Amino acid sequence: MYKPQAFSQYNSNIKRLVFISIVLALIVVSLGAYTRLTHAGLGCPDWPGCYGQLKVPETSQQLAQAQQAFPEQEVVAHKAWNEMIHRYFAGSLGLLILAIALLSIKNRKQGTPLFLPLFILLMVIFQAALGMWTVTMKLMPIVVMGHLLGGFTTLCLLFLLYLRLSNKRLPSSDFSVKKYGKFAFIGVFILAGQISLGGWTSSNYAALTCVELPICQAGWQQQLTFEGSFDPIPPVKETYEYGHLNHAQRVTVHVMHRLGAIVTALYLAWLALMVFRKSQTQFFQNSALLLGSALTIQLALGISNIWFSLPLAVAVSHNIIAAVLMLTLIRLTYSLKRKI
């Protein structure tokens, strides 16, 4: 494990940049969800610009050029702006992460972590490629889900780097909860799997396939079919916008997401309860409360998505709180696994 070192001014500056990057990454994840949920993923038919321009065409001359370059697609300004704003923020985040990586290389002798910033930079480059493929492959579900997970991964890695750069001392007497570190680590993978199921549900337009609680409407058991429901490479289509799966396949995808939510909720609720009960310090009790609170909010948002038929604000919040839930779990895991 990483052993905290005395912090120099260099490390403090990088830490501030990392914090800004975390905020920006959370905004990018939120904008990505908003873009996806407003069906604006193909608002711009090219990448990285929009209709061959750096911004959305607005003047009559720009619109004429866009129509000439892409005669098969009409310019829908609000969708195009949703997509481009997302790209502007993502590009800014990429530049900030590049600066962090360069500073980490420069200041490596001052104890600044090096491998993690470079890995995050590589992750951002791959994420940019996924953003391009999202457009060029016409919203192929595996690419859309990969782009979503890439955003989450970038955010989580930045948060992990922030924890690495922090020199906050942990309680030295609370050995009673250290054994739950391995369970928290397992919880990270369980939650990541559930987020992946959510991404697959969203990218296949299956979010409103089941409209009743707790699992689905009557007869869902007879509709379950795993044939084609989770195939990473779908049949060739001109576009995958609005989905390509049949009803039974979408029911299967949605039901698996619901069942995954139940498993994830029970596991994380148990983990939060055990850490809270066994801990002898305020730090870990508060960490458990944060995890439990984020989990409760996330469950309430998930239920609200079904109850109120996927309102945009609730659906976007469901993505944001999923990210917050993962960050709280990573913080708890890091704290439990960290050597005192």
Q: Which residues are catalytic?
A: 83
- What is the rounded (10 degree) CA torsion for 333, 337, 339, 340? 50
Q: What angle do CA 145, 149, 150 make, to 5 degrees?
A: 115
Q: Max alpha carbon distance in the chain (Å)? A: 70
247-278 vs 312-337: helix crossing angle, rounded to 10: 40
Residue 194's H or E segment, with its range, is: helix 181-203
Tokens of 274: 């055990």
Residue 69's H or E segment, with its range, is: helix 60-69
Separation between Cα atoms, residue 219 and residue 151, nearest integer Å? 36
Tokens of 247: 């009803």
Partner residues linked to 50 by β-bridges: 53
Cα–Cα nearest to 229, from 243, 242, 212, 215: 243
DSSP secondary structure code for residue 139 in this structure = S
